[in-house]
Amino acid sequence: MIENGLYDSFGRLIRDLRISITDRCNFRCLYCLPETEEAADFFRSPTRDNEPKPITRSWKPRSHFLTYEEIARVVNVLAKMGIHKIRLTGGEPLLRKDVPELVRKMCCISGIQDIALTTNGFSFKSQASELLKSGLKRVTFSLDSLDRGNFKRLTGRDGLKQLIEAINYAKELGFSKIKINAVIIRGLNDHEIESLADYARDQNLIIRFIEFMPLDSGRSWQRDHVMTGLEILNRLKERFVLEPLGLEHTASTAKRWRFCDGKGEIGLIMPVSEPFCGQCNRIRITADGKLRTCLFSHNEHDLKTIIRNNTDDNGLALWLREVVMKKEKGHQIGQKQFQQPERTMSAIGG
């Protein structure tokens, strides 16, 4: 039962697992947990008669989180079913204690080929060396602005200096293929597209420009705020000579280019304008132990209860297969029937 591949009803082979290890975050990014007055002012629209109600956020007690032993057990079962890539997310994952210990546990699991971490970088330097020693392969930093004032406006925190230092330290330690994610919001940081790309080229980094998605706790997302991938690409082509690259793999989320006159790489992740649902090979586990088959799912499956009911590995594998068979065909952003999930990016895991 365990060893066969993990397929959904559309024939997609699931190979990629995103694990949120905490719902807590020390940033308040506009596209996730906007709480600042500036954020409210930006998203407030006089033309909207029925403003959506913000999502009420309450942090889960730590006792509700899956333990590292429980996470490792699930990963062990999933690895036997074909999962080979793991990404640790949050919230901000490095707010949880002893993350290197979790990485070490997963590195011992046969079949796991790649373990990555997405972080805002604020606490990275104090844990980076131990994370590398524990077996962490790759790290992705969220960097939406290179301007201190605009960074604070976007994230609610004066943390640009610490983030740049974290990126430099990751390079110094020798982490491979360091990536930075930049969510582009029209009217906020779209004027920084070229400077962010310049930074990636100069520092030999991989930058992913990401379209603004409806996952904010304020429920203020509007299509007008979305800077499409095509718009971003056209801007970049005016400034740089770019050469297209092939997909990293068939289920890759990013379309890629390299700089012809420098190092580094550009990627475009376009879930709004060019959905990649047809090739999606990902499932997600939330910090409080729910399995989600899509970032925009309206249904969550109670993995924690299954584990804590003393279900054996074969029973867990059977349950996982049944859940994955319910994976959605696509997320329906931009369609009339689309509804934003109840939980935000911070609670779901990026």
Taking only the tens place, the pLDDT of each residue in 210-236 is 998 765 545 555 778 899 999 999 999
Torsion 163-164-168-171 (CA) sign: positive
Sheet of 138-142: strand order equals 242-245, 254-259, 265-269, 206-211, 179-184, 138-142, 114-119, 85-89, 16-20, 282-285, 290-292, 301-302
Question: Would you say domain 16-36+59-348 falls under CATH 3.20.20.70?
Answer: yes
Predicted pLDDT of residue 42: 54
DSSP 103-114: HHHHHTSTT--E
Predicted pLDDT of residue 297: 75
Q: Does residue 99 have a pLDDT over 80?
A: yes
- Residue pair 32/91 in contact (Cβ under 8 Å)? The answer is no
Q: Kindly state the DSSP code that residue 56 receives in the 8-state scheme.
A: P
Mean pLDDT within 161-168 = 97
- Residue pair 115/135 in contact (Cβ under 8 Å)? The answer is yes
- Give percent of the chain with pLDDT exceeding 90: 65
Predicted pLDDT of residue 337: 56
Predicted pLDDT of residue 164: 98
Q: Does residue 50 have a pLDDT over 50?
A: no
Amino acid at 141: F
Mean pLDDT within 33-57 = 50
Predicted pLDDT of residue 251: 57
Q: Kindly state the DSSP code that residue 62 receives in the 8-state scheme.
A: G
- Give percent of the chain with pLDDT exceeding 70: 80
Can you tell me the distance from the alpha carbon of 320 to that of 308, in angstroms, rounded to the nearest whole number?
A: 15
Predicted pLDDT of residue 21: 95
Categorize the per-residue pLDDT at 46 as very low, low, confident or very high, splitting at 50, 70 and 90: very low
Predicted pLDDT of residue 325: 96
Mean pLDDT within 271-290 = 85
Torsion 137-196-346-297 (CA) sign: negative
Q: Which one has a higher pLDDT value, 322 or 254?
A: 322
The pTM is what?
0.88
Categorize the per-residue pLDDT at 321 as very low, low, confident or very high, splitting at 50, 70 and 90: very high
Q: Does residue 249 have a pLDDT over 90?
A: no
Mean pLDDT within 109-134 = 96
Predicted pLDDT of residue 339: 60
Categorize the per-residue pLDDT at 144 as very low, low, confident or very high, splitting at 50, 70 and 90: very high
β strands within 82-204, DSSP E:
85-89, 114-119, 138-142, 179-184
Instruction: Please list, in sequence order, all residues whose beta carbon lies within 8 angstroms of the beta carbon of residue 5, skipping any fewer than 6 positions away.
Output: 13, 81, 82
- Residue pair 106/76 in contact (Cβ under 8 Å)? The answer is no
Encode pLDDT of 53-67 as tens digits: 444 455 566 667 999
Query: How many alpha carbons fall within 13 Å on the CB side of residue 245?
Result: 18
Predicted pLDDT of residue 48: 45
Predicted pLDDT of residue 31: 76
Longest CA–CA span in the chain (Å) reads 59
Encode pLDDT of 183-215 as tens digits: 999 999 999 999 999 999 999 999 999 998 765
